[in-house]
């Protein structure tokens, strides 16, 4: 009896342990790639990468200390091992640390297990020397990251992968004046500046004081990465999009109903194949003010975009709620139709293939309103060439007719007049588009362009 009870108790314990082991799966979380603080305040974050020798660290610290400026140092584990006293000096002056890996490999070319080793070793060395953690900030060696590495880094507690707004390329040995001019002339609120502490960055110590003086004169203040991000949240406002893992410029362009070239132009992109996770893109738009009777569907139809594109461009939580006077951003698609002031009624000439339903849908009105305005006996009987009054509200967007060219092969018995009547266009429009010498001379088998609407 005791044996049975003991076995039952053991089985119950094993089942409980099994359920606890598998009941709480780990949720994967990608690190957010940040290249700029999302702020309108004139603040700048100076960041310094220390890969191995840190030869210019002391000079950099002297300038920062003299100006009472705190910066962020992204240090490798090997650098910390090579010059531990410099790491202590950075910590003692109150600067911030970020993890730059242990040995500076390309994170897109190593496994998740190797990434863990690199970050854990780097963190352990820096924390042991300085007493400070590098989490949650990481900077990728060579700035090289992809979706897999961002996921691996995020799962290790490095929720912020820090890129840069301005790369001084100081490691190439460029002059102090070049570094200064590049930073000062391209200064924007929330910018993150990338510099280096190594012996290759010979111009950095000399440039630092000049940059500080000129940026201060422009009204800039100097902050660490944590201070920058605590005053800003990486969220997209209306007309903006934050790049997510796996997205391409083509996919984003399709989402908002714009072209890749329009995105590239609006964001001054030099390479349409290179965007970063976390990067904020400006979506080129035009504005439309909501009027009485408007719906998102009506506005979408008038501008030849989808409701979903309007929702995305305006960050709308409920596409069914619009307010009169509300400004809606319309994706600036090539050929976007600009709303024109219209009278209370407009005239429309019925064309081949038209139905009252298709006409009503085109103008965002009801079939019954057209029947009533034209005193039609039946909604099912209209004829090609008939002129209908369309009752539209003041401010309604009326789509401009977009000519569509179709080809027609002349058959026996055809005249230009009969063809024009068939398609609801004028004889002159066919003559003009086909550059005909005479409206009376066409040949069987001749292919004519018909400018239909």
The C-alpha atoms of residue 427 and residue 374 are separated, in whole angstroms, by: 27
Report which of 303, 219, 308, 301 is spatially closest to residue 256, judged by C-alpha positions: 308
Residue 61: alpha-carbon gap to chain centroid: 37
DSSP state of 36: B
Of 49, 50, 294, 354, the active-site residue reads 49
Count the helices and strands in the chain (H runs, E runs).
17, 17
Report which of 281, 313, 283 is spatially closest to residue 296, judged by C-alpha positions: 313
Q: Are 101 and 78 in contact (CB under 8 A)?
A: no
Cα distances (Å, whole numbers) of residue 291 to 19, 294, 329, 336, 395: 58, 6, 14, 19, 6
Backbone angles phi, psi at 354, to 5 degrees: -70, 145
The C-alpha atoms of residue 172 and residue 278 are separated, in whole angstroms, by: 27
What's the token pair of residue 145?
């990251």
Of 196, 241, 294, 354, the active-site residue reads 196
Report which of 29, 52, 34, 404 is spatially closest to residue 226, judged by C-alpha positions: 34
Question: Is position 92 annotated as part of the catalytic site?
Answer: no
Q: Is 418 helix (H, G, I), strand (E, B) or coil?
A: helix
Instruction: Mark out the alpha helices in 72-157 (DSSP H runs).
Output: 77-82, 84-92, 112-130, 147-155
Question: Is position 196 annotated as part of the catalytic site?
Answer: yes
Cis peptide upstream of residue 136 (ω within 30 degrees of 0)? yes
C-alpha neighbours within 13 Å on the C-beta side of residue 328 = 28
The C-alpha atoms of residue 141 and residue 4 are separated, in whole angstroms, by: 60
For residues 87, 93, 94 and 96, what is the CA-based torsion angle, rounded to 10 degrees? -40
Q: Is 223 helix (H, G, I), strand (E, B) or coil?
A: strand
Q: How many CB atoms lie within 10 A of CB 229?
A: 22
Which residues are catalytically annotated?
Answer: 49, 196
């Amino acid at each position: 009896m005791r044996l049975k009870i003991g076995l039952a108790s053991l089985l119950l314990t094993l089942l409980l342990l099994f359920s606890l082991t598998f009941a709480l799966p780990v949720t994967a979380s990608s690190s957010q790639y940040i290249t700029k603080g999302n702020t309108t305040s004139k603040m700048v974050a100076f960041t310094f990468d220390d890969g191995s020798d840190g030869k210019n660290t002391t000079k950099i610290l002297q300038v920062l200390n003299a100006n009472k400026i705190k910066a962020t140092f992204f240090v490798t584990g090997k650098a910390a091992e090579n010059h531990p006293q410099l790491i202590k000096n950075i910590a003692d002056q109150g600067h911030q640390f970020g993890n730059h890996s242990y040995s500076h490999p390309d994170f897109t070319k190593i496994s998740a297990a190797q990434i863990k080793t690199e970050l854990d070793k780097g963190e352990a060395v820096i924390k042991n020397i300085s007493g400070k953690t590098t989490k949650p900030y990481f900077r990728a060696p060579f700035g090289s990251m992809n979706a897999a590495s961002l996921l691996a880094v995020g799962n290790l507690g490095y929720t912020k992968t820090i890129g840069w707004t301005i790369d001084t390329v100081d490691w190439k040995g460029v002059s102090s004046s070049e570094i200064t001019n590049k930073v000062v002339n391209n200064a924007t609120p929330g910018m993150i500046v990338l510099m280096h502490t190594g012996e290759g960055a010979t111009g950095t110590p000399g440039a630092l004081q000049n940059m500080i003086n000129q940026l201060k004169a422009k009204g800039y203040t100097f902050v660490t990465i944590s201070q920058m991000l605590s005053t800003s949240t990486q969220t997209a406002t209306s007309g903006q999009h934050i790049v997510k893992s796996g997205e391409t410029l083509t996919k984003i362009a399709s989402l908002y109903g714009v072209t890749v070239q329009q995105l590239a132009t609006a964001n001054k992109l030099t390479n349409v194949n290179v965007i970063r996770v976390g990067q904020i893109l400006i979506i080129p738009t035009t504005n439309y003010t909501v009027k009485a009777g408007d719906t998102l569907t009506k506005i979408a139809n008038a501008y030849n975009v989808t409701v979903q594109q309007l929702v995305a461009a305006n960050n709308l939580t409920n596409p069914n709620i619009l307010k009169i006077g509300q400004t809606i951003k319309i994706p600036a698609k090539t050929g976007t139709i600009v709303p024109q002031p219209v009278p209370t009624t407009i005239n429309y000439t019925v064309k081949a293939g038209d139905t009252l339903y298709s006409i009503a849908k085109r103008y965002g009105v009801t079939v019954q309103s057209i029947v009533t305005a034209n005193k039609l006996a039946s909604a099912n009987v209209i004829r090609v060439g008939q002129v209908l009054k369309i009752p539209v509200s003041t401010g309604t967007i009326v789509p401009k007719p977009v000519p569509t060219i179709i080809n027609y092969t002349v058959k026996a018995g055809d005249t230009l007049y009969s063809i024009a009547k068939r398609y609801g266009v004028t004889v002159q429009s066919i003559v003009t588009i086909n550059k005909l010498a005479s409206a009376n001379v066409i040949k069987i088998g001749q292919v004519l362009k018909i400018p239909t609407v």
